[in-house]
Structure 1
Amino acid sequence: MTENIAEKSCTPCRGGIPPLTRDEAAGYVSQTPGWDLLDDGHLIRRKFKFDDFKQALAFVDKVGQLAEEERHHPDVCFGWGYAEISLQTHKIKGLHENDFILAAKVNQLPRSS
């Protein structure tokens, strides 16, 4: 994987394909610093920290805009001083390249309002 994953775009996942294996997913994790491979390789998650609720909310809004642009949507949990983003492709019950593309793009988002 020599291509910068953040330069790719998410493609619609129609289902019916196997999710990435744990080893395949581990290869992508190296391109998405800060993200953890969880749930036996079926989910990635990253927690972002902020100085206050307003900054966390602004970041979550940016994540939402990005998700709409990429047509790939994370699970988001946030509160005062933090935002936690989780990714998996529900149609295949595991990870797809799209999850790592979006994770890499989330990493590039500005973290202040």
Structure 2
Amino acid sequence: MDLSQKKCIPCEVGGPALTLEEARALMGQVPGWTLATDGKQITRTLLFKDFAQALQFANKVGDIAEAEGHHPDLHVSWGRVMVELWTHAVGGLSENDFILASKINNIIP
């Protein structure tokens, strides 16, 4: 099933994070994202024409995050949005991070 068709499910605090190998296997489903060398986070930076467009995109990401109950760190600056995903409850990556990344990819202009 396409990750963007899945729903994020709550993770149990202290539950298992994805292994580096599991995370690498999922990276092919989220083009444009970068896996941290320790395998505990994925990031994507997007460029926009101006601050207003960057902010508008960040707000769309926020809407998706609220709907999924899974929230990224967003860094918004002039013409740029950096999105960082990891699951705090497990201290690393979970499938939820890849689901959200896929949904974010679907709204990139």
TM range (shorter): over 0.9
Equivalent position amino acid for 2:36 in 1:
L
Alignment pair present for 1:64 and 2:62: yes
Structure 2: 5+ residue stretches without partners: none
CA distance in 1, matches of 2:108, 2:79: 15
Partner SS for 2:76? strand
Structure 1: 5+ residue stretches without partners: none
**Poorly superposed stretches of 4+, deviation over 2 Å:** none
Count of residues paired in the alignment:
109
Tell me the residue number matched to 1:77. Answer: 75
TM-score for both structures, normalised by structure 1:
0.93
> Mean alpha-carbon deviation: is it higher for 61-70 or for 102-111?
102-111
Q: What's the C-alpha RMSD, in Å, of the aligned pairs?
A: 0.9
Tell me the residue number matched to 2:88. Answer: 90
Check 1:110–1:46 CA distance in 2 against 1; reply closer, same or farther (3 A cut): closer
Partner SS for 2:101? helix
Tell me the residue number matched to 1:34. Answer: 32
